[in-house]
Amino acid sequence: MTTTPVPDVLAPARLGPVTLRNRIIKSATFEHMAPGALVSDELIDFHRRLAVGGVGLTTVAYCAVAPEGRTEADQLWMRDEAVPGLRRLTDAVHEHGGAVSAQIGHAGPVANGKSNGLPALSASRRITPLGPRITHAATLADIARIREAHGTATRLAIESGFDAVEIHFGHNYFASSFLSPLLNTRTDSYGGSLRNRARLVRETAAEVRAAAGDRIAVIAKLNMDDGVPGGFWLDEAIQVARWLEEDGSLDAIELTIGSSLLNPMYLFKGDAPLAEFGAVMSPLMRFGVKVAGKYFLHSYPYEDLFMLDAARQIRASVDMPLVLLGGITDKAAMDTAMAEGFEYVAMARALLREPDLINRISADHAAKSLCIHCNKCMPTIFYGTHCPLATPRMAGN
């Protein structure tokens, strides 16, 4: 009997057509460093620091495929005008030995229609708690346009020098809203059965693969569950992962959880920073957070590898490469992921706290992250994502 050797997480590895210097991915965290929906020097420096710090692949978040698909107006939108800045960003990452991925997608019901000056779209019309606002049900023409826009965004990513694209199928963004039986009440071929609700995801992945060919890697970020009663859950996620594997459109799936629309803290675990959220909001929204924030921003206990139990069930159901996310902050957790059969690991908050954490771990396998999972980084997405404990700064600076 032979056993497959456990990969060394710090050794080079293939991701589709790309070779990464290690198996560690900086997961997407919206940076809010794109005034005018274009790359800034600050955004380039953000990802340069991660490359210098040793990550194998850093993910630029969030690159909307259409103007109404932004969560707010100062968010990257993939168009010809953005290419020169994106090229400067990818060059900066490559200069320091890293690879770089563009997270592409459409925010759907999470988009800020007021900020964008365009209606927010979703699988079905509904009132959302983000404002509150009303989202419009996407027409068949909208669906076709947005699907094709993913192909255009992929071609622009290639032109800009990216090594990979990550399609956003999570967190109740546009595609995820179709997967959710709670958010998707359609009666056409994109609603009802799981096969119909998964149709958009599969078509979009195929569109991206057709545009990418074998020039760059294609990853998808897929919810395992929304953390919302009546929403998309693990049993359905297993089937969707199987279909995506059968379709052959992807090089890997990064597994995630939670709903930015209905239960954002479910993804993060740890403290809910209510006071910090209130401090960066308008007086009216601040009052709302004070009165009702605890009912929307729930607190969930943090533990290392907090997505592992659910991810194991996906791992047992498909053979394709998977990325494990959630509570991975040290070499021991990375080694556990490798031993469990995952090909890559993804980190976010720990790398906001210490962009050079991977270099520290490479030098000392016993090194521990300084991240305390306070989640005070979350409200900084409104003015420039960072760890307040590591880089204190004022809003707007």
**Predicted TM-score (pTM) of this structure:** 0.94
- The pLDDT of residue 393 is 39
- The pLDDT of residue 388 is 92
Active site residue ranges: 173
pLDDT band of residue 131 (cuts 50, 70, 90) is low
| Mean pLDDT (whole number) for 184-189 | 98
Among 7, 83, 89, 1, residue whose Cα is nearest residue 40: 89
| Mean pLDDT (whole number) for 368-383 | 90
Hey, which residues does 254 pair with through a beta bridge?
Answer: 221, 323
The residue with tokens 């990802």 is: 47
| Mean pLDDT (whole number) for 310-314 | 98
Buried b / exposed e across 108-142, counting CB within 10 Å, b at 16+?
Answer: bbbbbbeebebebbbbbebebebeebebbebeeeb
Residues 7 and 3: their CA atoms lie apart, in Å, by 12
State in Å, rounded, how far the first CA of the chain is from the last one: 60
Pick the more confident residue, 127 or 89.
89
Pick the more confident residue, 355 or 116.
355
Task: Indicate the average pLDDT of the chain.
Answer: 92
- The pLDDT of residue 255 is 98
- The pLDDT of residue 378 is 87
| Mean pLDDT (whole number) for 276-283 | 64
Rg from Cα positions in the chain: 19
Is residue 287 scored above 80 in pLDDT?
A: no
Residue length, the chain? 397
The ranges assigned to domains in the chain are 13-382
Residues 182 and 168: their CA atoms lie apart, in Å, by 19
Is residue 397 scored above 60 in pLDDT?
A: no
13-382 belongs to CATH 3.20.20.70: yes
Are the C-beta atoms of 107 and 135 separated by less than 8 Å?
no
Lateral strand order in the sheet of 126-128: 121-122, 133-137, 126-128
From residue 188, give the alpha-carbon distance in Å to each of 143, 270, 278, 295, 315: 12, 40, 40, 34, 32
- The pLDDT of residue 396 is 34
DSSP alpha helix (H) spans, 108-162: 113-116, 140-159
